[in-house]
Amino acid sequence: GDYSGALRPQVHFSPPQGFMNDPNGLFKDADGVYHVYYQLNPTEYIAGNQHWGHATTTDGYTFENQPIALFPPNNETFVFSGSAVVDVNNTSGYFPGQDNGVVAIYTLSNSTAQNQNIAFSKDGGYSFEPFEGNPVIDIGSIQFRDPQVFWHPQTESWVMVVVYAAEFSVGIYTSPNLKNWTHASNFSNHGLLGTQYECPNLVEMPVEDSDETMWLMFLSINPGAPLGGSVSQYFPGYFNGTHFEAVDPVARISDFAKDNYAGQFFSGIPGTERRLSIDWASNWQYTNDVPTESEGFRSFMTVFRQNHLKKLPGVGWDLVSSPFNISSQFSQVLASNSSLGNSSILLDYSTLPSGALYFEANVTGLTPTTLSGAINFIISSSISGQNIQGATIPGGATWVSRRNAGWGAENPYFTDKFSSNGVYSGSENGTWTLSGVLDRSILELFVNGGEQSATVTFFPDYPLDTLRIGASDIPEGAAVSVAVWGLKDAW
C-alpha cells in the first residue's frame, strides 16, 4: 500500500488498498502480537465483495499488512464480520500437539442465507482452512450474523453472541469444541433498536477502583442512530455463562459524534487487564462517498482503545475509553505550559512529518461552585483556513465541529457539529481534562480520560498544520496546563 497520501492517517490503521469496514477477529497471540482482521473489498472503493483483510502490530500503532486471510467461497457469497480465538487446549481437535491454533468464526452471507462458519489456522492466524462441516449454525435466516466468541472459564465452555439482526435480538450459544453449538438464551429488544442490530460483543470488563469485574454487552445499530446512520451502544450487566442481564434498561451510546461503529474487543487478553478494542471510524450514511478514493483506499480504524467501567455520580455506569499507550508514539514535545491561565498557545506543526499529534489540556483547582469557563481548540490549515474545532466546559458539555473542515457539503448526511450532554465526575476531584489524537483526517477527542469520547473524520483540501489551544473564563483559583506532542510516522 501507498500510505503517503495527505489524508492517510499515520498512527491509525487503514487498508493498503480498497474499502474497509468492521474490525474482525481481534486477538492477541502468545508472542504479544495483536492480530487485526477487517472487512475488506480489495477490488473496489465501496462496500461489497467482503474478504477478511489482515494486519499485525506489537504496539497498536505500527502495522504490518499481511496477506488476505479469508476469501469468499464463490462470487455470490461473502465473508461477513466475526471473531477469532486461540484454541489453546485444542478443544476443536484440529490442533494436535499445538497450543497456538487459531479459529476464525464468521458469517457467510448471500441473498438466500446468512449462517455461521469456522476456519482453522495452524500457523498462528496467517492462513486459514474452512471447516469441512460448515456451516456450524444455520437457522434458515437471511438476517443472522456477526458471531463473537470467547472462552468462559467458569463453565469451561465457548460462548457465542450473534444477532438476529432484524428481530432486535442477540442469541447466546455455547459449545465445547467450536463446532457443535447449543442455543442458550436471547437478549432482545434492549436500548436503541434502529433498523437492525449488528456486531454484538460480550466482554468481561474491569471496574475502576475495584477488584470486581462486570460484563458489558456492546451492540451496534444501523441505520437509525439518533444522529443518523450507524452507532454503537452498550449495556453493563451480569453474565452466568448462558444468560446476560443488563443492570438497567438505559441505552448508553459510546461516542458522541458520528464516526465510531462496529467496535470489537480483543480476545486472548486476561480478564484483569484493561480491555482493548478498536472501532471502525466511519458511518454507513456516507462511507462510500468520502474523498480518499484518489489515495487508494476508503476508511480507517480508531486507535487501539483501553476500556473499563466506572460508576459516575449522578450518571451511573459509564464505559471509559482512552488511547492505548499513546505516549509510546510521542516523537517530540511540541508545546508545554503548566500555568497557561486564560490565554492560548499557537503552534505551527507544518514541519512535523507525520502530521499527527496528541494534545492534553487540564484545568485543576476547580470547586463544585466554580465549574465554569472553557478549554477551546482550533486546528487549521494555514493555506485555506479550513479547520476542525471544539471546546469543553468544566463540569458540562463538550462540542466539536467539522463545519469548516472542507469536504462535506456534497453529502447531506455528513453533518458537522456534535456535542455531549450532562455533567460528569471529572469535577469530583477538582480537575477537568480534554485530550485528543489528531491524525490528518481523523480526530479522537477524550473528556476526563475518556469518560466521554468523540470520533470525527474530516477531509481538508490542504493539510492542517496549525493548532491553537487555550482557556477562557476559567475561575480564579483554578490553573490550566496544556501539552502537545508530535506523533511518530508509523507507516
Q: Minimum distance from CB of 165 to ligand FRU (Å)?
A: 7
The rounded distance, in Å, linking the Cα atoms of 179 and 346 is 59
Q: Binders of ligand FRU among 190-209, rule CB under 6 A?
A: 198-199
**Positions of E strands within 270-352:** 275-280, 297-298, 305-312, 316-323, 330-337, 344-348
> What DSSP element (H or E) covers 140?
none
Q: Minimum distance from CB of 474 to ligand FRU (Å)?
A: 42
Residue 145 touches ligand FRU, criterion: CB under 6 A: yes
DSSP type of residue 154: G
The rounded distance, in Å, linking the Cα atoms of 123 and 136 is 22
Q: Minimum distance from CB of 231 to ligand FRU (Å)?
A: 11
Site string for ligand FRU, 204-243 (x = CB under 6 A): ----------------------------------------
Contact by Cβ (8 Å): 84, 113: no
Burial of 148-167, coded b for 16+ CB within 10 Å and e otherwise, reads: bbbbbeeeebbbbbbbbbeb
Kindly tell me the burial class for residue 135, based on how many C-beta atoms sit within 10 Å of its own C-beta (0-12, 13-18, 19 or more).
middle
The rounded distance, in Å, linking the Cα atoms of 190 and 248 is 10
Q: Binders of ligand FRU among 452-491, rule CB under 6 A?
A: none
DSSP type of residue 79: E
The rounded distance, in Å, linking the Cα atoms of 13 and 63 is 7
Query: Cβ closer to ligand FRU: 48 or 133?
Result: 48
Query: Cβ closer to ligand FRU: 13 or 317?
Result: 13
Q: Minimum distance from CB of 282 to ligand FRU (Å)?
A: 9
Query: Cβ closer to ligand FRU: 199 or 480?
Result: 199
Query: Cβ closer to ligand FRU: 302 or 381?
Result: 302
Secondary structure (DSSP) of 227-241: TSS-EEEEEEEEE-S
Among 10, 39, 329, 387, which residue interacts with ligand FRU (rule: CB under 6 A)?
Answer: 39
Three-state secondary-structure class, residue 329: helix
Give me the catalytic one of 2, 22, 146, 318.
Answer: 22
Catalytic annotation present for 123: no
Site string for ligand FRU, 410-449 (x = CB under 6 A): ----------------------------------------
Residue 22 touches ligand FRU, criterion: CB under 6 A: yes
Tell me how many residues contact ligand FRU (CB under 6 A): 12
Q: Binders of ligand FRU among 62-121, rule CB under 6 A?
A: 80-81, 107
Query: Cβ closer to ligand FRU: 146 or 360?
Result: 146
- Cα three-residue angle 55-58-61, rounded to 5 degrees: 70
Query: Cβ closer to ligand FRU: 106 or 131?
Result: 106
* Dihedral (Cα; 187, 193, 195, 199), 10-degree rounding: -50
Residue 279 touches ligand FRU, criterion: CB under 6 A: no
Q: Minimum distance from CB of 81 to ligand FRU (Å)?
A: 3
Cell output for 59 = 504496539
Query: Cβ closer to ligand FRU: 50 or 389?
Result: 50
Q: Which positions are annotated as active-site residues?
A: 22
Binding residues (CB under 6 A) for ligand FRU: these are 21-22, 39, 50, 80-81, 107, 145-146, 198-199, 262
